[in-house]
Amino acid sequence: MNWLLGLFEPGHALGLLALDPPGWGGPLLEGLLHTLEVAAGAYIVGTLLGVLGAFGKLYGGPLVKDIAAIYTTAVRAIPELIEILILYYLVPDMVNKVLLSLGRDRIDLPPMLVGTIVLGFVLGAYMTEVLRGAILAVPHGQIEAGRAYGMTPLQIAWRITLPQMLANALPGMANLWLNLTKDTALLAVIGFNELTETSLQAGGTTKAFMLFFTAAGVLYMLISVLSGRLFALAERRARRGQPSLRGGGV
Amino acid sequence: MKALVRSMMVPHRIVLLLIGVAIFGWAIYALDWSWLPEYIQNGLLLKGLWTTIYMLVISWAVGLFLAIWLGLAQAAGPWYLALPAKGFCSVIRGTPLLLQLWFFYYGLGSIFPHFPSIRESWAWEYLRQAWPYALFSLTLSFAGYEGEVMRGAFLGVPKGQLEAARAYGMPRFTILRRIWLPQAVRRVLPTMGGETVLQLKSTPLIATITVLDLYQASLQIRQDTYIIYEPLLLLAVIYLIVTGIIVALFHLVERQVPSKRS
């Protein structure tokens, strides 16, 4: 019983969470940094894929539409963990096959890079659906007006569709970001030392599993609360000049 | 069915279909499937599938039951019920399921053995295995996510319905049973299929705490045979099929429930 109380004794817990080597605070924060880095990278990759997918689904030819539909359906129907594993083996394999056929040496891709690409690829499918819905919510007259001015499709996308859909897309994009920060934990399974994996290591070494998982949980909650605030601010900025959703003017 | 066939009879779709068939054929002939009959015969895959399914079904049912109360507490409860319910839902939704799973399995699981009274009780037989922790955290996770959904559904039922029931002199529990809950459930029905698929997709995580589910079965095959891709591909196909079945089932249920729109 004493050892249990000892875990929650302030001095002991603080000692284990200390930033310097006997404590695990430093590695834990490093894990947090890795989590955030992978999440940010994957978010950029996923958003780019999502923009391509959404425009493909809405304005592409029949072939592009079908390929986008296969991409979003298949990716969303298979567990992320399994997609991550398949792609985790497949991506370096393919890169090395290409390199070998070019007569170069094999390279070891850093797990962080592979993790970023894989999570971004998965996120892209969800992002496609969010952005597609947001683009559909832009009044069609706006796009016709752009066309009437003789804008090219790219100009219409950049100047009219994207700025106006952003306000509609941001709530969905915020949800995806929150899901993504949690999905980075799946990379623990392939041994990438992000926050969850680091807290498991810390717990395994010190036997204070509860302490470290709670600490990691608090950090995840911090990410989700802070980024929720940021997205709310961004949405307010994206909505400036548009009528309030609640009806009356602000 | 006719409409489906007609919609496929477009040149580019026929080409896509042929490419799909070609990839499928290549996967069957070029990849190594020699291990498959053995693992079907010794029942490893079936056992894994069974674990995945019963984990999904039980955590779905119990989680939904908890979610109704969580939603109700948030929508109508006094603050001392609403606040903990809201906190529970935010913590579950704000942290990764993998972390929760490990918290219960490694964290709680490492504390129990220190109490002789637990070790000597009947519960120890279960607490020393992994699957109770898996089922527990899957259930809590589903309850957390659905609690939030149920809160919105309860709040979305028109006030007039509840006022009418009260005007008829119905007791509060009868209102809940006859008016509030059925209408709230009807509201969540369209999203329930998707939520269930999400729950299915989180079940492979329990393999990380050594529960023998479908994913763990494929890991064992990989360890035995050193084959990487084939078991994973088979796994993906099985999950695709189960997803399809779930979507179809909920489609069927949804059609049984009368709604204004159809």
Q: What is the pLDDT of residues B192-227, one digit of tens each?
A: 888 899 999 999 999 988 888 889 898 888 888 888
Compute the mean pLDDT over every residue in chain A, rounded to the nearest whole number. 83
Number of CB atoms found within 10 A of residue B132's CB? 17
Number of domains in chain A: 1
Each residue's pLDDT tens digit, B148-180: 899 988 988 888 999 999 999 999 889 989 999
Whether A21 is in a domain gets the answer no
**Mean pLDDT value of segment A93-115:** 82
Q: Domain segments of chain B: what residues?
A: 50-256
User: Is residue A112 within 8 Å of residue A37, measured between CB atoms?
Assistant: yes
Q: Which of A3-7, A124-128, B154-158, B210-214 has the lowest mean pLDDT?
A: A3-7
* A157 in a structural domain: yes
Q: Which two tokens stand for residue B198?
A: 């999400």
pLDDT of A243 over the 80 cut: no
What is the rounded CA–CA span in Å between residue A95 and residue A113? Answer: 12
Q: Is residue A216 part of a domain?
A: yes
Residue B188 pLDDT: 87
Instruction: Tell me whether B17 touches chain A (CB under 8 Å).
Output: no
Residue A247 confidence class, pLDDT cut points 50, 70, 90: very low
Asked whether the predicted pLDDT for residue A18 surpasses 80, the reply is no
**Which of B91, B106, B236 lies closest to A78 in CB terms?**
B236
Question: Which of A2, A213, A219, A220 should be substituted to probe chain B, the one whose Cβ sees the most B Cβ atoms within 10 Å?
Answer: A213
Tell me if A213 is assigned to some domain.
Answer: yes
A103 has a pLDDT exceeding 90 = no
pLDDT mean over A117-136 = 90
Q: At A184, which CATH number?
A: 1.10.3720.10
The partner residue sitting opposite B95, judged by closest CB among A81, A209, A217, is A217
Q: Contact at 8 Å (CB) between B234 and B222?
A: no
Question: Measured between CB atoms, does B113 come within 8 Å of chain A?
Answer: no
Superfamily of chain region B50-256: MetI-like (1.10.3720.10)
Q: Looking at residue A107, what is its pLDDT?
A: 77
Domain membership of residue A70 (yes or no) is yes
What's the pLDDT tens digit per position in B221-258?
Answer: 888 888 888 888 888 889 999 999 998 998 888 888 77
Q: At what angle do helices A162-183 and A209-238 cross, to 10 degrees?
A: 180
Write down the pLDDT at residue B140: 94
State the smallest CA–CA distance between residue A162 and chain B in angstroms.
28
Spatial CB neighbours of B184, under 8 Å, sequence gap ≥ 6? B71, B150, B153, B154, B156, B157
- Mean predicted lDDT score pLDDT of chain B: 87
Q: Which amino acid is at B59?
A: S
Is the pLDDT at B110 greater than 90, yes or no? no
Residue (of B214, B261, B208) closest to B237 by Cα position: B214
Q: Do A220 and B103 touch (CB under 8 A)?
A: no
- Which structure tokens are listed for A23? 């404590």
Pairwise pLDDT comparison (A220 vs B121), residue with the higher score: A220
Length of chain A: 250
Nearest to A114 by CA among A48, A192, A40: A192
Assigned domain for A119 exists: yes
Which ipTM was obtained for this model?
0.82
What's the rounded Cα separation, in Å, for the pair B100 and B97?
5
Residue A121 structural domain: 26-238
- Indicate if the pLDDT at residue A246 is higher than 60: no
User: If you ran DSSP here, which 8-state letter would residue A243 be given?
Assistant: P
Predicted confidence band at A20 (pLDDT cuts at 50, 70, 90)?
Answer: low
- B27, pLDDT greater than 70: yes
Mutate to test the interface with B, among A88, A94, A186, A205 (most CBs of B within 10 A): A186
pLDDT at A6 over 70: no
Is A183 within a domain?
yes
In a domain? residue A51: yes
Q: Which residue has the higher pLDDT, A28 or B84?
A: B84
